[in-house]
């Protein structure tokens, strides 16, 4: 029997060695995330949940989605959002890769706000769209191999996954902060998750580097 499309996504992700997904957010949002999970703007409004945003409107205009990336952050976007927000207290959450096949997702080979993505008419929720995130790009002069891209990284740093349902806080694997002063804050807020399931959530302290590949080594 042919595997379901969810199982095909799971197999593809595991074959590529995807160990985690990432989502960046202002640090003051973490308490609400730990309580309610990761919610879209639409869901936050419905629950009246607290949440800082870096802009009044999402560029892709999809208020019902939460954007995450595979294995590495979109560093250019993250840098731009931090600059616009004028905040230095940000945290990157490491999330379980199972979200890719257990949640309703849309897979974008480039940022969802780009015209080529907004004009796309095919189904972006299945294994084909997931694999396209790692496909060869016609705009690149060199192949992925010539660029030295490992299988776990998307071809373009701005590739994103849009998750269309809430993400439980239990799916947070760990976190990444750039300042030691933020480590204790994040550890204390994630501690209640550890108490619930006994799995420790490590907090990495290092610069928010481009294309830092997150995996089991990232959180100890």
Contact by Cβ (8 Å): 149, 173: no
Gap between the Cα atoms of 176 and 208, Å rounded? 8
Q: What is the DSSP letter of 163?
A: E
Strands 21-26, 66-70: parallel, antiparallel or unpaired by DSSP? antiparallel
For 63, the 3-state DSSP assignment is coil
For 24, the 3-state DSSP assignment is strand
Burial class (CB in 10 A: 0-12, 13-18, 19+), 217: exposed
Whole domain around residue 180: which residue ranges?
Answer: 5-219
Task: For the chain, state the CA radius of gyration.
Answer: 17
CA angle 67, 69, 70 (to 5 degrees): 145
Which among 59, 35, 60, 57 has a CA at the least distance from the CA of 47? 35
Gap between the Cα atoms of 65 and 60, Å rounded? 10
Contact by Cβ (8 Å): 215, 20: yes
Q: State the CB neighbour count (10 A cutoff) for residue 104.
A: 10
Question: Considering its fold, how many domains does the chain have in total?
Answer: 1
pLDDT beneath 50, residues of the chain: 56, 58, 60, 219-220
Which single residue is written with the structure tokens 């849009």?
162
Gap between the Cα atoms of 42 and 181, Å rounded? 32
pTM to 2 decimal places? 0.88
Which single residue is written with the structure tokens 């419905």?
46
Summarize pLDDT for 57-110 with one digit per residue, the tens.
Answer: 545 455 678 999 999 999 999 999 999 888 889 999 999 999 999 999 999 999
Looking at residue 57, its pLDDT comes to 52
For 8, the 3-state DSSP assignment is helix
Contact by Cβ (8 Å): 163, 112: no
């Amino acid at each position: 029997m042919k595997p379901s499309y969810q199982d095909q996504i799971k197999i593809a992700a595991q074959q590529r060695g995807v160990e985690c997904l990432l989502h960046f957010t202002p640090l003051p949002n973490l308490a609400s995330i730990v309580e309610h999970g990761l919610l879209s703007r639409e869901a936050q409004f419905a629950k009246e949940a607290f949440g800082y945003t870096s802009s009044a409107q999402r560029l892709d205009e999809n208020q019902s989605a939460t954007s995450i990336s595979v294995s590495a952050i979109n560093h250019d976007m993250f840098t731009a959002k931090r600059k616009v927000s004028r905040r230095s207290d940000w945290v990157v959450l490491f999330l379980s890769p199972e979200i890719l096949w257990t949640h309703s997702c849309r897979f974008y080979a480039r940022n969802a706000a780009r015209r080529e993505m907004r004009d796309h008419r095919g189904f972006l929720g299945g294994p084909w769209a997931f694999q396209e995130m790692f496909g060869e790009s016609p705009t690149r002069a060199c192949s992925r191999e010539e660029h030295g891209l490992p299988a776990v990284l998307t071809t373009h740093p701005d590739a994103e996954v849009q998750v269309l349902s809430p993400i439980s806080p239990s799916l947070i694997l760990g976190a990444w902060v750039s300042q030691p002063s933020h480590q204790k804050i994040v550890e204390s807020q994630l501690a209640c998750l550890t108490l619930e399931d006994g799995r420790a959530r490590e907090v990495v302290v290092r610069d928010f580097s481009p294309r830092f590949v997150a995996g089991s080594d990232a959180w100890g």
